[in-house]
Chain A
């Protein structure tokens, strides 16, 4: 990671450190502006930010696995007794 490369007033490792806050919509004002400026000009951070956001999206829409569903079905019967 190009730690010394300052793009848009922020460095790649700083963007990485604030990525969770960014995708959660918690960044504001000047810091948000600098991060956006960096991501607009840094293909690595743009790509990784996208990958991170996609990962969260996949997790948020994850339904039960087949094993979880089977366990739940067994338990529902046992608990009904």
Chain B
């Protein structure tokens, strides 16, 4: 039991593996949205993401390795990442061509009226489209840190870099997202 009187993830998983369907469904209920979102961020397409998500939970329920103090969420996300990366044809971790931060800032709308930025953020479809336009590496760090709220150390460990490198990647990814938001939509000037 955790402080809230809820059954903790390790116990839920143990029970689910023992055939307790309610425990299994509770475990799924806690983590499904996060895994779905991350899988969709890192898999090549939504169908693959759905299959990967299913496989990750099935593996959790049929596995025998206990959580042993690890965060269930992080554990599931690591599994998701491994599965997703196997689906990508290109080599993982190829860095994007270096762009000076100033250029990223200008592309992100530095010097522009901030009102425009805010109104774009309110357009859900536009925000989703902007996220889709990012590289997988950029999208995953934003999903993990800014959408899922996974802490910095866990995020860095998950993506396999030092915390300082993760922070740098995150900052640049956010600027590229702001740029993608700025480019999207019918009012954008295509150059």
Contacts and interface: CB of A to CB of B under 8 A. Distances in A.
Contacts of A78: 54
Interface string B76-112: 0000000000000000000000000110011011111
Contacts of B102: 1, 3, 13, 16
A16 B36 CA distance: 33
A28 interface: no
A67 B54 contact: no
Contact of B54 (A12, A50, A60, A75): A75
Interface residues of A, number: 34
Interface of A: 1, 3, 12-13, 16-17, 19-21, 44, 47-48, 50-52, 54-56, 58-60, 62, 64-65, 67-68, 71-72, 74-76, 78-80
Interface of B: 21, 24-25, 28-29, 32-33, 36-37, 40, 46, 49-50, 53-54, 57-58, 101-102, 105-106, 108-114, 117-118, 121-122, 124, 127-128, 142, 146-147, 149, 167, 170-171, 174, 177-178, 181
13 contacts: A1-B106, A47-B112, A47-B113, A50-B114, A54-B117, A55-B121, A55-B174, A58-B121, A60-B147, A68-B33, A71-B36, A72-B33, A78-B54
